[in-house]
Structure 1
Amino acid sequence: MTLRISRAALTQEIARAVRDVPGVAFLRPGLADLLRAAPASADTGGAHSGAGVRVRGGGGAPWHVEVRLVALSENRTVDVARAARRAVEALLDGLAAQEAARAHVSVTVTGRL
């Protein structure tokens, strides 16, 4: 089964799902996201919707999803990371069960707020 969504749309959906997890302050953009921020700000009102999420793989290869986020200090970091990972896995399960079974999801908490 192939994924029925583009990689860019998948990245945005994953970012949205992670931002909705209780205890997530925001997604942490990487250098590439920061460099794209100027053009993205004109199109998206100042926010690069996929910042903090990197999706690789597909097309027969296993999916690799990397999420970097900042957690709220009143929540345990490990709980936020686990909840974010479950949210991504649930999203992938809903999109393509066969592809999701071969997905590797990593969540890194880069800071607390």
Structure 2
Amino acid sequence: MSDQDVTDRVTRAAARAAEEAPGVAFLRPGLAELVRGTALPHLKGTTAPADPPRTGGVRARRQGTQGTPRAGWRLELHLAVLDGHRALDVTRAVRAAVTDAVRGELAADTDVTVAVTVTDIA
């Protein structure tokens, strides 16, 4: 499995976990994703139907080198919180859910760092 395949799996798992966390309205793609067009579906059949959907609002990167004590993943999520929910509670729930989801995709002892930025209240 290629590095890009693993990154895609991690990103999709993180997005699913974040969207299911209580108080999350939606994931918000960043400006870079909008400019590159990765936050929106591809137009006019440029993407094969078997291609997985893009996950705006989640950025996943490897940290360190595979097999070293500092190897792991850093995930950055940007999301909107539902009105009536405390942003602090939502970010804690998202952080825990994403960490568990990523470790479920990889290995239970994988070092996972999750940064959550609340960009809006919906």
TM-score range for the pair, normalised by the shorter chain length: 0.7 to 0.9
Aligned sequence identity (%): 40
1:16 equivalenced with 2:25 (yes/no): no
Change (3 A) 1:88 1:38: closer
1:56 equivalenced with 2:61 (yes/no): yes
TM-score (norm 2): 0.74
Match of 1:98 among 93, 98, 109: 109
One-letter amino acid of the counterpart of residue 29, structure 1? P
RMSD (Å), alpha carbons: 2.3
Alpha-carbon deviations, 1:62-95, whole Å to 9, x = none? 2101111010111111111111111101112322
Change (3 A) 1:98 1:34: same
Match of 2:86 among 53, 76, 83: 76
Task: Identify unmatched segments of 5+ residues in structure 2.
Answer: none
* Greater helix content: 1
Q: Secondary structure at the match of 1:70?
A: strand
Change (3 A) 1:40 1:104: same
User: What CA distance in whole angstroms lies between the structure 1 residues aligned with 2:27 and 2:39?
Assistant: 17
One-letter amino acid of the counterpart of residue 50, structure 1? T
Contact 2:38–2:54 (8 Å) recurs in 1 = no
Q: Secondary structure at the match of 1:97?
A: coil
Change (3 A) 1:65 1:97: same
1:40 equivalenced with 2:51 (yes/no): no
TM-score (norm 1): 0.79
| Length, aligned pairs only | 105
How far off its partner does 1:8 sit?
A: 1.3
How far off its partner does 1:17 sit?
A: 1.2
